[in-house]
Chain A
């Protein structure tokens, strides 16, 4: 069985906006979502730069018993998922009568873990961690919360694959629907933003220290890039079989047509060229799509020296001399890590539906490797009907998606 897999709903809660329209405008205007957080500096961070999102206020939206088990990033995910389900026209009745699944990317829940352990140590009593602590502190907190809240009865799992988590979640949802095992899966990724989650990431020197110019710090592919800027939020896409979407009379936004993956089998933090290239090649082979059909590549490029170089080489190897437009929306958002694969699929779909490619901010000068790619530093108004999105993570996990207009 091989079925078409379509996207019928999207929701976004990011440093570019807390809804699709606001995010689309931010992409169009090349807005940066990066700020300087003095609390991080006081804590001992090398770099106090971060993406910023407001904390959702769900007090009058969800009951206390629904909120008490949710860490902040699950609240981001709830807001994004609520938007996506509404856009898809999926309500409680549909979820009661159909086994809707959830696959969400997530690879940490540091803040509630820190808070619970701190309280236990201070009080000398595990009871004082509180009723919500265990559920907030588990890596699957987003899927356990949302599956109970929406009374979901399909696949229910968190996908942990470092910075490729959100992309793999979409890819796996695509495979389940394509193969007839699910009709509808809520896919996405969530990333906590707080002082605890990336402290040790800062410690290994991965972050840009261009603290005097927050909006210029994330500069993927630029010759003078000096590291990534951590960010976060949540992004949700409702994946559905075309048959189910048509039966419901849903508005179909786009179609997922390809998923490829690979593992570098190499260094834990330093990426290589062969692994990412293989992920792209697998995606083309699995989908039967030719690279010449791709109008835009949303690169993983995080603004690190080696990562951007090796991705540029991998893209150039697969696409040859005439690469399509390539940008990294991380130039605006920073690195949304566990969420990035899902949010970047949404950013790219918004650009595809509205006929433009957002500028790769701060791409002032290429280096010898990034000069191989066609990277616009200004917004391009152009129509494209198919794009490819890369996500790579620590441990050498690689994921590539191809999505086309519907």
Chain B
């Protein structure tokens, strides 16, 4: 799966689940400061990623990811 395909799926899920404006969903967007996902929201991000891509992740690793672009790359590494 290409980074573009991953980003499209992630962005669609984030917009739907977290009610985030599409315009904010850029690769350099910081997950905590720009998208405003706090430590509890990251827990739900884990479920979204695992269910969307049928992969098993590590919540502690996802908590350390800074930007959306880094998240796309992390997901690609698990596929």
CB–CB A130/B19 < 8 A: no
Decide if B43 touches A64 in the complex (CB within 8 Å): no
B43-A65 in contact (CB<8A)? no
Number of interface residues of A (CB under 8 A): 9
- In the complex, A260 Cα to B46 Cα: how many Å? 50
Q: How far is the CB of A145 from chain B (nearest CB, A)?
A: 14
Q: Are B40 and A64 neighbours in the complex by a CB distance under 8 Å?
A: no
In the assembly, what is the distance between CA of A132 and CA of B17, in Å?
13
Complex Cα spacing A132 to B40, Å: 8
> Is B47 engaged at the interface, CB distance under 8 Å to the other chain?
yes
Residue of A nearest to B44 (CB): A131
In the bound assembly, the distance between CA atoms of A63 and B36 in angstroms comes to 13
Contacts of B50 in A (CB 8 A): 128
A65 to B35: give the CA distance in the assembly, Å: 13
* Chain B: number of interface residues, binned into ranges: 10 to 19
> By the criterion CB–CB under 8 Å, are A131 and B40 in contact?
yes
Decide if A65 touches B47 in the complex (CB within 8 Å).
Answer: no
Collect the chain A residues with CB atoms within 8 Å of residue B59's CB. Answer: 127
**In the complex the two chains form, what is the Cα distance from A68 to B38 in whole Å?**
13
| CB neighbors of A among B17-57 (8 A) | 17-19, 38, 40-41, 43-44, 46-47, 50
User: What separation, in Å, do the CA atoms of A132 and B41 have in the docked complex?
Assistant: 9
Indicate with 1 or 0, residue by residue over A124-158, a CB within 8 angstroms of chain B CB atoms: 00011011100000000000000000000000000
Q: Which of A127, A128, A131 contacts B41 (CB 8 A)?
A: A131
CB contact between B46 and one of A63, A68, A127, A132 (< 8 Å): that residue: A127
Question: Does the CB pair B18–A130 fall under 8 Å?
Answer: no
Chain B contacts for A131, CB-based, 8 A:
40-41, 43-44
Q: Is the pair B18, A64 in contact by a Cβ cutoff of 8 Å?
A: yes
B43, A130: Cβ atoms under 8 Å?
yes
Chain A residues, Cβ within 8 Å of B41: 65, 131
Minimal Cβ-Cβ distance residue in A for B18: A64
Residues of B within 8 A of A128 (CB): 46-47, 50
* A64-B19 contact given A131-B40, A131-B41, CB 8 Å threshold: yes
In the assembly, what is the distance between CA of A128 and CA of B38, in Å?
17
CB atoms of A63 and B19 under 8 A apart: yes
The reply to whether B19 and A127 form a contact with Cβ atoms under 8 Å apart is: no
Separation of A65 and B18 alpha carbons in the complex (Å): 8
The minimal Cβ–Cβ distance linking A384 to chain B, given in whole angstroms, is 49
Who on chain B is nearest to A129 by CB? B43
The 3 A-B pairs of least Cβ separation, nearest first, read A131-B40, A131-B43, A127-B59
Can you report 24 A-B residue pairs in the complex whose CB atoms are below 8 A from each other?
A63-B19, A64-B17, A64-B18, A64-B19, A65-B38, A65-B41, A68-B40, A68-B44, A127-B43, A127-B46, A127-B47, A127-B59, A128-B46, A128-B47, A128-B50, A130-B43, A130-B44, A130-B47, A131-B40, A131-B41, A131-B43, A131-B44, A132-B40, A132-B44
Q: Which residues of B line the A interface, CB within 8 A?
A: 17-19, 38, 40-41, 43-44, 46-47, 50, 59
